[in-house]
Amino acid sequence: MKVQFIKGITGSNEILEDEIPHIAFVGRSNAGKSSTINALLNEKAAKVSATPGRTQEINFFLVDAEKYIVDLPGFGYAQTSVKTANKIRGYILWYLTSPEVRPHLQQLVLIIDGSVGMTKFDRELLEVATEENLPLIIVHNKMDKLNQSETIKAERAFKQAFHHQEYCMISSREGRGIAALRTRLGL
């Protein structure tokens, strides 16, 4: 796979005129968006993360000249100011609701920390995705942190709360579930 960083955006941009489908990754800071993207793309973490100063933007990576992987900024990083947090929240909501983006959004991937479960912000994102009718899959990452009975319990609770929602369970650290997710996303 050939992966190339194209640019980071914070709003309307000419890249949205490209006829290239987006696979977008959203989720709380530290949930493992970048780690999951790297695992899916077989790239070293440094490649996707080595964009200092752009981590608060919506980053576009071109994969094999045919798909954009979109790494949305993480929400809820403890060290950010309220002002920055609101700005980031605004970027995420803009991306999820913009009519400029919608025709290109092939798949939205909500990464959650599987050892924590759905947080308030995750639920808010889920609501927006439902309202906007976005094609959503919820990925429970860090499943290596849960033992078998905890995994069963977490899965049961999730299914009960969000019965028709598509989801999968992975560990981007150990590689579990990555091949299946890669296939699911057509990568």
Ligand X SMILES: Nc1nc2c(ncn2[C@@H]2O[C@H](COP(=O)(O)OP(=O)(O)OP(=O)(O)O)[C@@H](O)[C@H]2O)c(=O)[nH]1
Parallel/antiparallel/unpaired status of strands 22-26 and 136-141: unpaired
- Told to check if 107 binds ligand X by CB under 6 A, we report no
**How would you class 124 by CB atoms within 10 Å of its CB: exposed for 0-12, middle for 13-18, buried for 19 or more?**
middle
Q: By CB under 6 A, name the one of 30, 51, 106, 165 that touches ligand X.
A: 30
Residue nearest to Mg ion (CB): 34
Which residues within the stretch 155-174 sit at the binding site for ligand X (CB under 6 A)? 171-173
Stretch that binds Mg ion, among 34-42, 99-107, 112-120, 172-180 (CB under 5 A): 34-42
Stretch that binds ligand X, among 6-14, 101-109, 139-147, 159-167 (CB under 6 A): 139-147
Binding characters for ligand X, 74-93, by CB under 6 A (x = yes): x--x----------------
Starting at the earlier edge strand, list the strands of the sheet with 136-141. 3-9, 58-63, 67-71, 22-26, 105-113, 136-141, 167-169
The amino acid at residue 155 is E
Parallel/antiparallel/unpaired status of strands 58-63 and 22-26: unpaired
**Contact positions vs Mg ion (CB under 5 A):** 33-34
